[in-house]
Amino acid sequence: MVATLVLSAFMVALGEAHKHRSQHHGLHVTFYEHTCPKRKPPPPPNSYALRGLEVLDDAKAQLEAACPCIVSCTDTIALATRDASVLVGIPHYSVPCGHRDSCSSRAIDVLNNLPAPFYDLPTLTHNFEYRNLNVEDFVALSGAHSIVNAHCSSFGYGLYGHSHAYSMDKTYADELKHICPPITLPCFTNPVVKLSKDSTHKMDGSYYSCLRKNQAFLPLDHALMTSSKTRTIMRKMALHPDWWARKFGLAMEKIGTIGILTGGQGEVRSSCRYVNGGE
């Protein structure tokens, strides 16, 4: 049932939701607009990333109608992420079920647990290793940027040569400047750009080929080029997209084991937007 609800356009959004749930037992900052309408936290770098929430709402509503208080939001998000991944080219991978939802949702956890797009490689590596994800997992998961978009505000400081500037193909950088004006301009509207130049609607590993040509723009992406170990993994994934796709699925399986609640822990939410009784 979930597979029929999830279109390929939601793949990245659902993947983001799965990562957010796994890493801090809660949901993305946009969920807190419902539970904490007066809160004013600083927006995280990827505050625009999570979309397609109505798809999850629909799936959860149908599950609750058929078998109330049985299937958690945690499992719903994980299954939807897997099915959406398959729709855009990733081989089927296992999703353990029977997990429960947290009884709390804290906006600050989003800021504290998600890697920022400007992190360098050592910081990123530590961030993933802390959650039992190795360097190969990190490089494989980065391949999701094959079909991801980003707002200009997430990379503009590097595009215009500020202190955090990084290497980028000059022709590609000039193309981006036509789309993204300096973020300091009063008329700045924060347009959206594909994360890699050859981005498609399929997960095909093209991201790695673009990155090797310096045709990606997040510092997080370029960080992969700063180590011989990550460059070697990246080259193999560019040359063998089927191998990369399998590694991506295995890494997603590992994400599904982070911070899980089982047995009498937590609750099974009736709505993924609220803790029970919090609407």
pTM for the model: 0.78
Residue 112 covered by a domain: no
| Residue range of the domain that includes 245 | 136-251
Res. 23: pLDDT tops 80: no
Dist. CA 155–CA 167, nearest whole Å: 12
Share of the chain above pLDDT 70, in %: 72
| Token pair of 129 as six digits | 């290793």
> Any binding-site annotation on 151?
no
Do the domain assignments include residue 184? yes
Write down the pLDDT at residue 199.
64
Query: Could you say which DSSP state residue 132 is in?
Result: T
Q: Which amino acid is at 211?
A: L
**Residue 131 banded pLDDT, cuts 50, 70, 90:** confident
69 contacts: CB under 8 Å, gap ≥ 6: 268, 270
Number of domains in the chain: 1
Distances in whole angstroms, Cα of residue 135 to Cα of each of 138, 146, 252: 5, 19, 14
DSSP strands (E only) in the chain: 149-151, 192-194
Q: Measure the CA–CA gap between 79 and 94, rounded to whole angstroms.
A: 9
Q: Lowest mean pLDDT of 69-83, 170-184, 259-273, name the range.
A: 170-184
Residue 140 within any structural domain of the chain = yes
**Per the domain annotation, does 151 fall within a domain?**
yes
- Tell me, yes or no, whether 87 lies in a domain: no
Answer for the pair 206, 213: CB distance below 8 angstroms, yes or no: no
Which contacts of 119-125 are long-range, i.e. CB under 8 A and separated by 24 or more positions? 119/219, 119/220, 119/223, 120/219, 120/223, 120/226, 121/223, 121/224, 121/226, 121/227, 121/230, 124/220, 124/223
Q: Is 204 annotated as a binding residue?
A: yes
Q: How many CB atoms lie within 10 A of CB 179?
A: 12
Residue 29: band (very low, low, confident or very high) from pLDDT cuts 50, 70, 90: very low
For β-strands 192-194 and 149-151, DSSP reports them as antiparallel
> What would the mean pLDDT of 40-60 be, rounded to a whole number?
65
Q: Is residue 143 part of a domain?
A: yes
Distances (CA, A) of 151 to 39, 119, 171, 178: 23, 17, 20, 14
Q: How confident is the model at residue 3 (pLDDT cuts 50, 70, 90)?
A: very low
Q: How many CB atoms are located within 10 Å of the residue 39 CB? A: 12
Q: Has residue 105 been placed in a domain?
A: no
pLDDT tens, residue by residue, 155-212: 776 677 654 445 778 888 888 888 888 876 666 678 888 776 666 677 887 888 888 8
Known binder of ligand: residue 20? no
What CATH number is associated with residue 234? 1.10.420.10
> Do the domain assignments include residue 76?
no
